[in-house]
Amino acid sequence: MCGIVGYAGRERAAEELFEGLKKLEYRGYDSAGISTCDRGEIFTAKRGGRVEELLPYLKALSGTVGIGHTRWATHGEANDVNAHPHACGKFSVVHNGIIENYAELRAELAASGHQFISQTDSEVVAHLLDFYYDGDLADAVRLACARLKGCWALAVLCADFDGFAVTRRSSSAILGEGDGYFAASDIYALCGRAHSYCVMEDGDIAIVTPRGITIYDCNLIPVKRAFEQLNEEGEEVGTGDCPHYMLKEIRQNARTIRATCNKFSYIPNLPALKKRLEDSDKIVLVGCGTAYNAALAAVRLLGGAYDCPVSAHIASEARYDPPRVTEKSVCIAVSQSGETADTLRAAEIAREAGAYLIAVTNVGYSAITRIADKVLPVCAGAEVCVAATKSYIGQLACFHLMASLNNIGVRMSELLKVAGGVEDIASGGAYARVIAKLCVQSRAVFFLGRGVDVDVAVEGSLKLKEVSYIFSDGYPAGELKHGTLALVDETVLSVVLICDEALAEKSKNAVEQILSRRGKVAIVTTLPHVYEEFKGRVNASWLLPPAPAHLSHFLSSTALQLIAYRAAVLAGRDPDKPRNLAKSVTVE
Ligand code: GLU
């Protein structure tokens, strides 16, 4: 989590870094800070709160070299002191990740006279650099990192040096060249500023100056790393016509389905992938949050297409209780960013046990792509809102295509057709507003469905709670009478999804059970007869465009994303930056 940036060039660094931080703020936004260096002096401004808080201090930060940070606190509350950069002697440091052995290092350094002022794990890095510094920045970084356990991306400013150092282990760091030289946690910060980028390898130490970038390995042997053109992501910057990224990104759902289909047809060796899936003794999927919910949908899709058992696992659990795999198994790691620490580790464990690893990810240069045997791209483009929307839709599209490798043309045309319906839903919104208002007026919101609708209910509930903070749960409609019905009264809303004709009668029973207990009900359905039957009897009903049950989740999840978005706005929340959350969960 968190974003780091670095700049060395001819322009004033403070403004460059501020712009970079604003683009990375979705990775963490509880505090922010910048250090610049000018003729041997380091200037620092840092504050608890959003990146904007730094604006009044930028003028005082002189120099054309600097580093910056937007934080998602892991150790120590979000306040001015704990904000990065952290300083010691000639050093100023920003850190993304967790230093697991910080307590023992801190004790050791304190014993030799170092005084700590923050509660963070990161401050220890600045003190270690000071401890090891002997006039050579790169060497101090090498020696300090050799003492660290955990994960990190670090940018280090040294008063003696006209430039900065960057290094990483298990947290992402990208270098950029353009009008000046850049470092950042992800490519998004470089858009519009760099023309090419390079993904640092674990252990690399880069020295970035206004004159260029030199990269060394962890033993300070110079290494060559490829720089690639930075192009398409540039178009994603900004919210366009929409007030928030979340709405903009929901409106890109249809585009994501089309782009994912298009890219899929160019994936090399699809027949070999098909054979691998057909011959596998089991398929296990690992993911967290929304990606895990997409994996639930994959279980139905892949389970219907291949003979072997298919299961989905929450990655943070799978790390410690790994699904049993063999050399004939396939593990599918699902991660929007491709950097999710728990998913990476669960995938590594499966791979070490012999499984063939497939990555389903939205970020082509991410860590998961480097350990995977096969990468299946989700072409959502940059997703800036912390709550995943279009990437979930893209993951669903990818699983549909994986499930129909026998007959991919037919499935693609179905997907392209359903994309039209998705577009219609996303560009409207009157029904979403009505249901969102009911959500905001309710003590709790339950999302219910059967079959394919269960997965949508679970994801719809996650979406609502993460952006609106309204208590919510999603589960199978048949379970209602086994416990949750006890909570239903006139203050509770149940959003009932009915998109599978074969299960509609049973789902209607759940609606009747709720109405009999005076519970509030909103129906979301693709079935006109269900809509007609309940219209006027329930608090709200939304008829979606028609679609076969196996494709309906594209429509119903787009509808639930919009409801969550509208509820967040009505409740006065910032849907793009929910409290306590951040994008790219690179810590465990
Ligand atoms: N562990 C560090 C802290 O809590 C860095 C967290 C981050 O990656 O934002 O300050």
pLDDT of 394-415, one tens digit each?
A: 999 999 999 999 999 999 999 9
Pocket test for ligand 1, best of 96, 170, 186 (most atoms within 8 A of CB): 96
Mean pLDDT over all residues of the chain? 95
Asked whether 37 and 17 are in contact (CB, 8 A), the reply is no
pLDDT, one tens digit per residue, over 79-101 is 999 999 999 999 999 999 999 99
The CATH H-level (homologous superfamily) assignment of domain 239-427 is Glucose-6-phosphate isomerase like protein; domain 1 (3.40.50.10490)
The alpha carbon of 98 and the centre of ligand 1 are apart by a number of angstroms equal to 6
CA dist 47 and 45 (Å) reads 7
**pLDDT, mean of residues 537-550:** 97
Confidence of residue 25 (pLDDT cuts 50, 70, 90): confident
So what's the pLDDT on residue 586? 65
What is the distance in A from the centroid of ligand 1 to the CA of 121? Answer: 7
DSSP 8-state code for residue 219: T
Binned at pLDDT 50, 70 and 90, residue 587 comes out as: low
Q: Residue 268 class from Cβ within 10 Å (0-12 exposed, 13-18 middle, 19+ buried)?
A: exposed
Residue 460 CA to residue 553 CA, distance in Å, equals: 11
Q: How far is the CA of 171 from the centre of ligand 1 (A)?
A: 11
User: Is 88 one of the annotated active-site residues of the chain?
Assistant: no
Residue 122: pLDDT band with limits 50, 70, 90: very high
pLDDT single digits (tens) 486-518: 999 999 999 999 999 999 999 999 999 999 999
Q: Is 508 a catalytic residue?
A: no
Q: Do domains 239-427 and 428-576 have the same CATH topology?
A: yes
- Model confidence at 150: pLDDT above 80: yes
The torsion angles phi and psi of 475, rounded to 5 degrees, stand at: -165, 175
Residue linked to tokens 């720089």: 227
**Can you give the pLDDT at residue 1?**
61
Q: Say whether pLDDT at 235 is over 80.
A: no
Domains of the chain, by residue range, sit at 3-232, 239-427, 428-576
**Position 242 pLDDT exceeds 80:** yes
Number of CB atoms found within 10 A of residue 351's CB: 17
Choose the residue to mutate in 98, 102, 339 for probing ligand 1, maximizing ligand atoms within 8 Å of C-beta.
98
For the segment 441-464, what is each residue's pLDDT rounded down to a tens digit? 999 999 999 999 999 999 999 999
> Residue 28: what pLDDT?
81
Confidence class for position 17, pLDDT limits 50, 70, 90: very high
- Testing ligand 1's pocket by substitution, the residue of 47, 120, 581 carrying the most ligand atoms inside 8 A of its CB is 120
Give residue ranges with CB within 6 A of ligand 1.
1-2, 28, 71-76, 95-98, 120-122
CATH of 3-232, one of 3.40.980.10, 3.60.20.10, 3.40.50.10790, 3.20.10.10: 3.60.20.10
Specify the CATH architecture of the domain 428-576: 3-Layer(aba) Sandwich (3.40)
Please state the rounded mean pLDDT for residues 13-23: 95
Three state DSSP letters for 109-152: HHHCCCCCCCCCCCHHHHHHHHHHCCCCHHHHHHHHHHCCCEEE
What is the rounded CA–CA span in Å between residue 575 and residue 579? 9
pLDDT at 234 over 60: no
Q: Tell me the CA–centroid distance for residue 508 and ligand 1, in Å.
A: 48
